[in-house]
Structure 1
Amino acid sequence: MKTLTTALALALVSSTAFAADAFFPYGSDTPTYNWTFGYLGANIGYGGGKHEVDASIIGTPLRGSISATTNGFIGGAQAGYNWQSGSVVYGIEGDFQYADINAKLAAFTNLFGTGISASASGSLSWLGTLRARIGFVPEDRFFLYATGGAAFGKLGLSGEVNVGGIPYRDEISKTRTGWTLGAGAEYAVTDDWTWKTEYLYTDLGKWTFYEDPVLKAETGLKFHTVRTGMNYRF
Structure 2
Amino acid sequence: MLRKTMIAAVAVSAVAAPAFAGSYQQAPADPVVPAPAPAPVFSGSDWTGAYAGASLGYGDLDAELGSASEGADGTVYGVQAGYDYDFGTFVLGGELDYSATDLDFNGTDLDSITRLKVRAGYDAGQTLVYGVAGAAHAESDLGDDNGWILGVGADYKLTDDVTVGGEYLYHQFDDFDDTGVDIDGSTLAARVNYRF
| TM-score class normalised by the smaller sequence | 0.7 to 0.9
Q: Given the alignment of the two structures, is residue 191 of structure 1 paired with residue 163 of structure 2, yes or no?
A: no
Q: Given the alignment of the two structures, is residue 29 of structure 1 paired with residue 41 of structure 2, yes or no?
A: yes
Question: Contact 1:180 / 1:200 at 8 angstroms: preserved in 2?
Answer: yes
Query: What is the count of residue pairs matched by the alignment?
Result: 162
> 2:112 maps to which residue?
126
Report 1:1-234 matches (<5 A).
29-54=41-66, 65-104=67-106, 121-138=107-124, 140-156=125-141, 173-207=142-176, 208-209=178-179, 218-234=180-196
**Structure 2 segments unaligned to the other structure (5+ residues):** 1-31
Question: Contact 1:96 / 1:126 at 8 angstroms: preserved in 2?
Answer: yes
Structure 1 residue 89, shift from structure 2 partner? 0.8
TM-score between both structures, scaled by the size of structure 2: 0.77
Structure 1 residue 223, shift from structure 2 partner? 1.4
Question: Which runs of at least 4 in structure 1 moved beyond 4 Å after TM superposition?
Answer: none
Q: Aligned equivalents of 2:65 and 2:77: distance in 1?
A: 26
> 1:110 maps to which residue?
none
Structure 1 residue 32, shift from structure 2 partner? 2.7
Structure 1 residue 79, shift from structure 2 partner? 0.2
Letter matched to residue 136 of structure 1: Y
CA RMSD of aligned residues (A): 2.1
Q: Aligned equivalents of 1:152 and 1:75: distance in 2?
A: 15
Q: Aligned equivalents of 1:201 and 1:45: distance in 2?
A: 14
Structure 1 residue 53, shift from structure 2 partner? 1.9
TM-score between both structures, scaled by the size of structure 1: 0.65
Task: After superposition, give the CA deviation of every residue in 1:105-143 in whole Å (9 maximum; x if it has no partner).
Answer: xxxxxxxxxxxxxxxx332101110000001023x1011
Higher CA-based Rg: 2
% identical aligned pairs: 32
